[in-house]
Structure 1
Amino acid sequence: MTDDAIALMHLAHQLHRSLDRRLQGDFVHPKPPEAQIAALWQIRQSPGMTVRELADELQMQPNNASALVTAMVKSGLLTREPDPQDRRVVRLHVTEQARGRIDEVQGLSSGYLDAALGDLGDDERAAVHAAIPVLARIARHVRDGRPHREA
């Protein structure tokens, strides 16, 4: 394992935990479980997706995704709507209540990060901006399960 891989792993965890803790203190509603937040963001990004598509995107077993969706429908965060072309297919949509909460969480999180970025110099902000596509490629690589090579 390289020093860069270890540093990236710890940094990703630290940033995630720091955002989560800040949100717990500032979000006025009870914070939904992490899986629900991920599902809401994914469904909002791709309205009308199926439970199977959600499971694939979140890398969950379909039965676990189905249970997650059922709980979210019961709590008023999602709706299930039959597909107009194929009534056997059910499409998922975020409710207005959930959309408002997603916006609030996203606003808080981006505010924390914008403040941190604002404390950086121009060159540092440019380096962060340039790193985003590379980090996205790394995330896709890890998500897709490509084999690793020993260093």
Structure 2
Amino acid sequence: MNLNDHETAEKLMKSFLRFSKTNWQHQQTFFRYKPSEMRVLFCIKRGSSLDKPEMKVSEISKHLQVTPPTVTQLINELEGKGLVERQVDPADRRAVRIRLTEQGEAVQQEAEDAFLSSFQGLVAYLGEKESLQLSKLMSKATRYFHEQKNPSQVSEGEGE
């Protein structure tokens, strides 16, 4: 590694640190809800379909890569706020399925609209070409760090 490589690595590291400190994901804040609660709402929305509008705790846990007890705790909080509801799975009475309530749907949609608007603003600021370039570079960086952490789980095209 030559001196330029070291300087470039330091610049890149500082850029990543500055970016993480911008707290970009909280620009459109939903003070009533924790980021972890919003991730669960988004996960349920994305993981559900018209014929199956709910998910099991284990499915949510797998998607979010957190433990089932963590998801259960978040579900308890969201249920207390009226954003999700539990239903016994008719096919397996031991399983419980989680679905968004009407209020949960509205909160999730409001957050999704706010995030989309924020990123549309970023596209307008950077321009189409640089936005696509940034997207590709971030996907590539994510893939690099994922491969460093999990060398046996390398997958083609992840994140693009």
Q: Aligned residue for 2:150?
A: 146
Which letter does structure 2 place at the counterpart of 1:38? R
The answer for unaligned runs of 5 or more in structure 1 is none
How far apart are residue 126 of structure 1 and its match? 3.3
Distance 1:18 1:122, change over 3 A: closer
The percent of aligned pairs where both chains have the same amino acid is 22
How far apart are residue 61 of structure 1 and its match? 2.6
Distance 1:82 1:125, change over 3 A: same
Which letter does structure 2 place at the counterpart of 1:35? S
Which letter does structure 2 place at the counterpart of 1:23? Q
Structure-2 separation of matches of 1:129 and 1:88: 42
CA offsets 1:23-66 (integer angstroms, 9 cap, x no match): 23xx5xx4301110011111111122211222232232322221
Which letter does structure 2 place at the counterpart of 1:50? K
Pick aligned residue for 2:60 from 40, 54, 60 = 54
Larger radius of gyration: 2
Number of positions where the alignment pairs a residue of Structure 1 with one of Structure 2: 139
Structure-1 separation of matches of 2:89 and 2:69: 20
Pick aligned residue for 1:120 from 126, 147, 154 = 126
Q: Which residues in structure 2 correspond to 1:2-151 (within 5 Å)?
A: 2-3=9-10, 6-7=13-14, 9-10=16-17, 13-14=20-21, 17-20=23-26, 22-24=27-29, 30-47=31-48, 48-131=54-137, 133-134=139-140, 137=143, 141=146, 145-146=149-150
Distance 1:93 1:118, change over 3 A: same
- Comparing both chains, which one has the higher relative contact order based on Cα–Cα distances under 8 Å and sequence gaps of 6 or more? 1
Structure-2 separation of matches of 1:54 and 1:73: 15
Structure-2 separation of matches of 1:101 and 1:46: 17
TM-score by length of 1: 0.73
- Give the RMSD, CA atoms, in angstroms: 2.9
TM-score by length of 2: 0.70
Distance 1:5 1:93, change over 3 A: farther
Distance 1:113 1:137, change over 3 A: same
How far apart are residue 84 of structure 1 and its match? 2.2
How far apart are residue 8 of structure 1 and its match? 6.3
Q: Secondary structure of the equivalent of 1:91?
A: strand
